[in-house]
Amino acid sequence: MAVKADEAGFDCFLVTDHFMLSNANGNVDAWTLLPYLAAKTQRIRLGTCVTPVPFRPPALLAKMVATADVLSNGRIILGAGAGWHKPEFDGFSRWLETKERVAYTREAIELLIRLWTEETPVNYRGVFVSCAGAVVQPKPVQKPHPEIWFGSHSPYTLKLTGMYGRGWIPVGPRWIFEAGTPPDSYAQMKKVILQELKKRNLATQDFAFSMLIGHTDIKTLRLDVERYIEAGMNYFILGQPTEANESFLREIERVAEDIGESL
């Protein structure tokens, strides 16, 4: 899928980041997979949709992302979220309630950025995150650091998206839920992000207001894309929830031709 998307002209290829789900335990580790995909592709950007930030120690995550960015020659996107699947945290990490996971995520993002950008050893002490004398070398190829795209829906996480992010990945039709975030809600959520982008003096065209839309017939897909463009989307993500077969590989080319070229 990644090679076909690269050849067809897609801008990025994102993978889910899970170890264990109720219906699928056979996932390979995303941050081990991405450098492998980098070696198999030429120009397409690679990232996660999305990484549960509280799932891994943040300094370790900073090192993993930086390594992937170096090995891909600057093509990595960190999709970031607060996590949601408690059994997975219970098995491999440590579960925190929603408010605490969000607070952890903010502290971790602050630490990630410092580790990617500061040359001297980093000390950080927050409520949930801390480190002493951490150094990440080599630094990421991307400057000032790899882009962070947030999978966010609540008012506070939308604010974090505008404060630290360069992209937004909400869930759309046929991905997890059949309907996903409707266009009118999308437009209202976007306003929260825009308020923070204004404080950063970051132009809206420099920010990916995306929507993850699950694969379906081309006519329905086009209608969905048009509805979300009207609501403020500027970056369409095609979702494929299962393993690709030859039919879907052909569909990647068709979507690139029939929809991608018209955006």
> Three-class SS string for the chain?
CHHHHHHHCCCEEEECCCCCECCECCCCCHHHHHHHHHHHCCCCEEEECCEEHHHCCHHHHHHHHHHHHHHCCCCEEEEEECCCCHHHHHHHCCCCCHHHHHHHHHHHHHHHHHHHHCCCCEEEECCCCEEEEECCCCCCCCCCCCEEEECCCCHHHHHHHHHHCCEECCECCCECECCCCCHHHHHHHHHHHHHHHHHHCCCHHHCEEEEEEECCCHHHHHHHHHHHHHHCCCEEEEECCCCCCHHHHHHHHHHHHHCHHHC
Architecture of the domain spanning 151-257: 3-Layer(aba) Sandwich (3.40)
pLDDT (tens digit per residue) in 127-178: 999 999 999 999 999 999 999 999 999 999 999 999 999 999 999 998 876 6
| pTM for this entry | 0.95
- CATH code, 17-142: 3.20.20.30
> In this predicted structure, what is the pLDDT of residue 102?
97
Query: Structural domain boundaries of the chain?
Result: 17-142, 151-257
> In this predicted structure, what is the pLDDT of residue 25?
81
| Mean pLDDT of the region 188-206 | 96
pLDDT (tens digit per residue) in 74-95: 999 999 999 999 999 999 999 9
**Mean pLDDT over all residues of the chain?**
94
pLDDT band at residue 180 under the 50/70/90 scheme: confident
